[in-house]
Amino acid sequence: MLFKSIFAVVLTLLLSACSTVSKPQQVSFTLYHAWYEGGKVGYIITDVSHQDAAKEMNANYAPRLRDAVPRYPKPPQVKTVLERVYGFPNKEQKNNVFASAPSPAGYLSEDRRYSPLWIMYIVKWVDPNQAQELTSEEAIFVAEGEGLITIERTDIVINCPVVPFPVSG
């Protein structure tokens, strides 16, 4: 019982020290949208492992994020902190596609698959005239299986957390 009391006091002191160091300030980020399992999610971009991509995304250049990329080929049972994000560099599609998202977004999420660190996969249409909106990872795999698209893994790692946002039409 004494240990629990001491632990509670120490934890309270540590947390209060963090909150009193400086006054919280608000910052602004661009809210981007991506597809996840047919629905839209909102996300922000903070850090990118590739300098040109970081410049394009107005994010911090963070080359050490590449340290999160495992050696390939990796066995399927080996889990990493990276999730897959599918991008469309030829702009046939405006929104990226995420392989996971917290459900629900915010502190109530219990989704253990979600990570805010993403490894970029490039999706290209074999015939751009056949391009259509792909709204899930499953739809991407189906299109690849039908020979409509190609998918290429890059070594670009992006820190872009999914954030709660109000859904509008």
CB of 60 closer than 8 Å to CB of 47: yes
pLDDT class for 136, splitting at 50, 70, 90? very high
Provide long-range contacts, Cβ within 8 A and 24+ apart, for 21-27: none
6 belongs to a structural domain: no
How far apart, in whole angstroms, are the C-alpha atoms of residue 99 and residue 166? 21
What per-residue confidence (pLDDT) applies to 169?
45
Say how many domains are in the chain: 1
User: Is there a domain that residue 41 lies in?
Assistant: yes
- Model confidence, pTM: 0.79
Evaluate whether residue 3 is within a structural domain. Answer: no
> Is residue 35 within 8 Å of 136, Cβ to Cβ?
yes
Q: Is residue 23 part of a domain?
A: no
Residue 13 resides in a domain: no
The range of the structural domain enclosing residue 152 comes to 30-163
> Does some domain include residue 145?
yes
- pLDDT above 70 for 8: no
* pLDDT higher at 164 or 147: 147
Q: Cα separation of 53 and 154, whole Å? A: 12
Average pLDDT over residues 145-159: 95
| Residue 5 domain-assigned (yes or no) | no
Q: Is residue 60 part of a domain?
A: yes
Dihedral angle sign, alpha carbons of residues 113, 118, 119, 120: positive
